[in-house]
Amino acid sequence: MKRFINRAYPVALLCATLLTIVEACAGQSLASTAARTPDRFFSDLRDLVEHGDLGDEEYVAQTFRLQLTAEPSETVFNPTTKSVEGVSSKFIATAKSVETQIFEGKPKANYGQFKPNRSTPEKSSFTEAINEAEICLKKEQFTPTWGEGEPQWNPSFQGQITYIFSRRNELEIYLLFSKTGCLHEITLFQNRRDELK
């Protein structure tokens, strides 16, 4: 007796599998590019503060929905003594969300680290311009949990608020609000004030 094999079935099954994968990937892409709600953004930022380490580039990238690619490290020398101060690392930021403002085709986000030779804490810094058209974070998003902070006057903007947290490291957060009342730019420093003492 001859057996007839339906050769179309494996092909159909393969196509269905591929379609499922494509749909899943498309869903992940949409999820990664869409803006969060202001509540979710603040929640993720608060988690970073509690994490307590701005030097953890993977956590920073996850918090701000970026891809951070390390550039070659550079040795930093003391300009007077010419001795080695430490190692500086800069990262190229790639936006994975519409939340990051884009200027001339590049995201307005910067991230860097400095590891000193002496026994002082490692330093890190991050700044990002927020795409206000996609997400609007008001001052009221932060003050119920973090308080009023330290307000600072800026003639070009509605205002700036500074928060300082002491966890594993000291973390400064600067929130710059535009005249629309939305968060325009966020800047974070880790252990920066240590070098000013």
In the predicted model, residues of the chain with pLDDT beneath 50 are: 1-31, 196-197
Of the candidates 68, 73, 132, 123, which has an alpha carbon nearest to the alpha carbon of residue 98? 132
- CA dist 73 and 112 (Å) reads 10
Do the beta carbons of residue 53 and residue 47 sit within 8 Å? no
Residues in the chain: 197
What does the DSSP 8-state code read for residue 36? P
pLDDT at 119: 77
Instruction: Report domain extents, the chain.
Output: 35-196
Question: What is the 3-state secondary structure of 101-160?
Answer: CEECCEECEEEEEEEECCCCCCEEEEEEEECCCCCCCCHHHCHHHHCCCEEECCCCCCEE
pLDDT at 158: 62
pLDDT per position as a tens digit, 141-195: 999 999 998 877 665 556 789 999 998 999 999 999 998 999 999 999 999 976 5
Place of tokens 């953004």: 41
Do the beta carbons of residue 75 and residue 87 sit within 8 Å? yes
pLDDT at 135: 97
Q: What separation in angstroms does the CA of 169 have from each of 50, 51, 147, 162?
A: 10, 10, 20, 16
- CA dist 183 and 129 (Å) reads 9
- What is the pLDDT of the chain when averaged over all its residues? 83
Contacts 24+ apart (CB under 8 A), 177-181: 177/138, 177/139, 178/132, 180/132, 180/136, 181/136, 181/138, 181/139
